[in-house]
Structure 1
Amino acid sequence: MKLLLIGLDGVRVDLALPDVVAADPGFAEPDHPGDPRFAASGPPPGLAPGNPGAPVAPTLERLAAGGRVVPVWMTPPTDSGPGWASLLTGTTHEENNVWWNEFVGHRLARCPDLLSRVFFADPRARTFAASTWAGLVDPSGPGPVVHTRPDQHVGGQHQLFAATDFGDGCRSADRQVRSRAAWVLNHEGPDATFVHFEGVDETGHRYGSAGAEYLEALRTVDEHVRFLVKAVAERVEQLGEDWLVAVTTDHGHKPEGGHGEDETVVRRSFLLVHRLGGAVPAVVADATTLRSHEVAPLLLAAVGVVPGEFRAGHPVGQVRDVASTGPTRDLRYEW
């Protein structure tokens, strides 16, 4: 079974899939408390959540109708760096030491992403990642979250693509990522793929999530998702392949815009899983509420990847290092 994971940055699932959220009590409140350091200061007066009215994400709704949507709760701080590091590596903030988007002091080299885990399980596996945000895939940046794996990169077994066309902001960059990813998915059919879009997050920061602009951004990214699903659906149709399509987000957006704290609307995420060519794997069908670091292990189990590990207490890998206690929020240390 091949895996396609689509990351939609900054999506409010209660606006994209309102009926799904309303029907599942797991979406109502976070399943674990946030750290007091990242507590919300309260919304400004006069802003109500947006009302989507007609469906704004028909592709997501179609995927959900034939699949499974599992509530996911992000652990504050609800920023993209910590969020995607946790979602893609299956580790907590304390384990990967990613607390901000600057990735200062990260331990990502010790926390392989799910594409790398697929390769480690079977060195014949081909992997691909494309992202609007370079921090996820660009080896020259502060990350990346997705390991470069240069030996496989040279031979084309592992490909990374970072957007370069920001002439129209993240909108043009997302279109570039969509085009590249759809071509690779359709023509090469990697065994495991991650594709990231950032347009909704950009719109949320600029306009907030309560207005028409945010809903239009949801419609746009939903169409990007359709392109990618169509690319793999053709392989299922013509080659008889088996694909697991998953969609998630790293955080939501406040009505006034922004994220990073512990409000329910920004901590609420989701894992939508739809199998093209068969029923959703039992491990997903039986899943209940997840935390962000549980998403990658669940997807790996769904496609049959079982991690190897040393027995508990084995001395290999033990390092004396800076404690992973995270930031103090003392402004003297904020730069």
Structure 2
Amino acid sequence: MKLLLIGLDGVRVDVALPQALTMHRGFEEPDHPTDPRFAAGERPAGAPTMPSPALSTATPAPTLARLLDGGCVLPVWMTPPTDSGPGWASLLTGTRHEENNVWWNEFVGHRLARTPDILSRIYFANPSARTFAASTWDALVDPSGPGPVFHQRVDQQVGGQHQLMKASDFSEGCRSADTQVRGHAAWVLNHEGPDAAFVYFEDVDEAGHQHGAASAEYREAITRVDEHVRHLVKAVSERYEQLDEEWLVAVVTDHGHKPEGGHGEDEVDVRRSFLLLHHIGPADVADDLRTRASGVPSLRSEEVTPLLLDLLGAQSGSWDPHHDVGRVRDVATVGPTRNLEYEW
């Protein structure tokens, strides 16, 4: 089974998939407390409120709804600060903020070199696996920017086994960049069929910052990104139809948005994320996936990658974690001892 992991930045599940909230009790409230440093402040005077669901009869994300109808959804609770850097670093590496040391979008002092991403871990589990990542945000894939979250694995890139793509067309902001990512990713998925792929879209987050989650523009951005998702799912569905390749499609977001726009603190609507799972392949395998997922309580962001690896059957290597190689040591710098025993 192959993996298509789609990252949708800044999507509120109650706007994109309101029906999901009634499908799992874990969506009701966070499963763990937050750090007081990231507590939400007073809302600004005159801040908008979210429109009533009854006033929004049209489904803004028909593709996500269709994936949900044939799949399942799990609540994911983000640990503040609910910024994109900490969120995606945690979701994609399976580590907490304290482990990867990503606290803001500047990535100051990060330890990402020691926290392999999900694509790298799949490669480590099977060195014949081909991987692919495409992103609007350079922090995920570009070594010249902050981060990146995804390891470069240059040797595999040279051999065509690992591909990374970042958007360059920002003529219409993230809207045009997402369209560029969609076109390239859909072609790679359909024609080359990597064993594991991650594709990231940012249009919704940009709309949230500019107009707020209570706006019509925010819902319109969700609809545009949902259409990008449709193209990707179509690409891998055709590979199952023609080549009998089974695919696990997973969709996740890193945070929501306030009605007036913005995120970073500990509001429920900002912390609440989701993991949407859909299997493309034989019906009995899809049934088994839903059965396995039904027993999973709400997840934390660092638990998404381990769950996906488990569903794929990608096992860790046999490396002894207590081996001395690679161990981090904090020792005082004292200089040479001048002991001749160490002269060779």
Task: Report the Cα distance in structure 1 between the residues aligned to 2:247 and 2:193, rounded to whole angstroms.
Answer: 10
Task: Report the Cα distance in structure 2 between the residues aligned to 1:263 and 1:252, rounded to whole angstroms.
Answer: 9
Question: Residue 310 of structure 2 is aligned with which of 301, 304, 308?
Answer: 301
CA shift digits 1:144-170 (9 cap, x unpaired): 101100000011110000000000000
CA contact 1:207–1:214 (8 Å) conserved in 2? yes
Q: In the TM superposition, what is the alpha-carbon distance from 1:22 to its structure 2 partner?
A: 3.0
CA contact 1:253–1:265 (8 Å) conserved in 2? yes
Identity %: 69
Question: Residue 218 of structure 2 is aligned with which of 214, 218, 221?
Answer: 214
Specify the alignment match of 1:38 in structure 2.
Answer: 38
Q: In the TM superposition, what is the alpha-carbon distance from 1:320 to its structure 2 partner?
A: 3.7
Q: In the TM superposition, what is the alpha-carbon distance from 1:184 to its structure 2 partner?
A: 0.1
SS at structure 1 position matched to 2:197: strand
Specify the alignment match of 2:237 in structure 1.
Answer: 233
Q: In the TM superposition, what is the alpha-carbon distance from 1:314 to its structure 2 partner?
A: 4.7
Task: Report the Cα distance in structure 2 between the residues aligned to 1:205 and 1:302, rounded to whole angstroms.
Answer: 34
CA contact 1:170–1:198 (8 Å) conserved in 2? yes
Task: Report the Cα distance in structure 2 between the residues aligned to 1:311 and 1:117, rounded to whole angstroms.
Answer: 16
Q: In the TM superposition, what is the alpha-carbon distance from 1:141 to its structure 2 partner?
A: 1.1
Q: In the TM superposition, what is the alpha-carbon distance from 1:291 to its structure 2 partner?
A: 0.1
Task: Report the Cα distance in structure 2 between the residues aligned to 1:23 and 1:17, rounded to whole angstroms.
Answer: 11
SS at structure 2 position matched to 1:151: helix
Q: In the TM superposition, what is the alpha-carbon distance from 1:315 to its structure 2 partner?
A: 4.1
Task: Report the Cα distance in structure 1 between the residues aligned to 2:329 and 2:45, rounded to whole angstroms.
Answer: 48
Question: Residue 101 of structure 1 is aligned with which of 93, 98, 105?
Answer: 105
- The letter for the 2-side match of 1:267 is R
1:318 partnered with 2:322: no
Task: Report the Cα distance in structure 2 between the residues aligned to 1:42 and 1:64, rounded to whole angstroms.
Answer: 35
Task: Report the Cα distance in structure 2 between the residues aligned to 1:166 and 1:269, rounded to whole angstroms.
Answer: 27
Number of residue pairs matched?
Answer: 322
Specify the alignment match of 1:265 in structure 2.
Answer: 269
Alpha-carbon spacing, 1:283–1:307, altered in 2? closer, same or farther (3 Å): farther
CA contact 2:124–2:317 (8 Å) conserved in 1? no
214-223 or 51-60, which deviates more: 51-60
Task: Report the Cα distance in structure 2 between the residues aligned to 1:166 and 1:18, rounded to whole angstroms.
Answer: 31
Specify the alignment match of 2:337 in structure 1.
Answer: none
Task: Report the Cα distance in structure 1 between the residues aligned to 2:20 and 2:110, rounded to whole angstroms.
Answer: 35
Query: What pairs with 1:1-335 in structure 2 (closer than 5 Å)?
Result: 1-46=1-46, 47-50=48-51, 51=53, 52-278=56-282, 279=286, 281=289, 282-308=291-317, 310=319, 313-320=322-329
CA contact 1:72–1:290 (8 Å) conserved in 2? yes
SS at structure 2 position matched to 1:159: strand
User: What is the TM-score normalised by the length of structure 2?
Assistant: 0.91
In the alignment, structure 1 segments of 5+ residues that lack a partner are 322-335
CA shift digits 1:4-61 (9 cap, x unpaired): 0000000001110101113322111111011000000032244211343321111001
CA shift digits 1:103-129 (9 cap, x unpaired): 110000000000000100111100000
CA RMSD of aligned residues (A): 1.5
Task: Report the Cα distance in structure 2 between the residues aligned to 1:37 and 1:158, rounded to whole angstroms.
Answer: 39
Specify the alignment match of 2:342 in structure 1.
Answer: none
Alpha-carbon spacing, 1:309–1:81, altered in 2? closer, same or farther (3 Å): farther
Task: Report the Cα distance in structure 2 between the residues aligned to 1:122 and 1:210, rounded to whole angstroms.
Answer: 45
In the alignment, structure 2 segments of 5+ residues that lack a partner are 331-344
SS at structure 2 position matched to 1:258: coil
CA contact 1:89–1:112 (8 Å) conserved in 2? yes
- The letter for the 2-side match of 1:291 is R
User: What is the TM-score normalised by the length of structure 1?
Assistant: 0.93
Q: In the TM superposition, what is the alpha-carbon distance from 1:312 to its structure 2 partner?
A: 6.1
13-22 or 44-53, which deviates more: 44-53
Task: Report the Cα distance in structure 2 between the residues aligned to 1:76 and 1:83, rounded to whole angstroms.
Answer: 8
Task: Report the Cα distance in structure 2 between the residues aligned to 1:148 and 1:16, rounded to whole angstroms.
Answer: 33
Alpha-carbon spacing, 1:42–1:307, altered in 2? closer, same or farther (3 Å): farther
